Amino acid sequence: MVFFAILVVVVGVLGWVRLAPSDPAVWHVDPQVSADQDLTNGVRRRVVLGEGGFARLDAQIMATPRTELLAGSPEDGHATYITRSLWMGFPDYTSVQAQGDVLEIWGRARFGRSDVGVNKARVDGWLDQLTQNGA
């Protein structure tokens, strides 16, 4: 009986992680990046990608598996994306905002106190890929 109760709780938690609504009013926010920062629960980056940089970054982000646009667009100068982990479906949010030629990027986990570097690796990977492709 105890095993069944534990199983029900685990399945419930996993269901919540996968099905929890993502309210744009909460997650589609100004990144407010003043400097590059590696955070316990995410990463902040300020980059200059030049003309069309946001569109190129958007294409890179949208090519990432299990990623979708939550709100905004490069044309709006502000977009927020959700990328989910493969096995557990944990959502990470990445907000990008244009400030002239500068893009402010804030990637962060929704659940937990640490993202174990996942957002840093993802955001830096996107930026490295753009650099390699001549951005």
What's the CATH number where 79 sits? 3.30.310.80
Q: What pLDDT is attached to residue 15? A: 66
Does a structural domain hold residue 116? Answer: yes
Q: What pLDDT is attached to residue 6? A: 82
Half-sphere exposure of 32 (CA within 13 A, CB side): 3
Number of domains in the chain: 1
Does a structural domain hold residue 84? Answer: yes
CA–CA gap between residue 21 and residue 98 (Å, rounded): 26
Does a structural domain hold residue 91? Answer: yes
Closest residue by Cα to residue 123 from 97, 99, 105: 105
Q: What is the pLDDT along the chain (135 residues), one digit of tens a residue?
A: 777 778 777 766 666 666 688 899 999 999 999 999 999 999 999 999 888 999 999 999 999 999 999 999 999 999 999 999 888 888 999 999 998 889 999 999 998 889 999 999 999 999 999 888 765
Does a structural domain hold residue 12? Answer: no
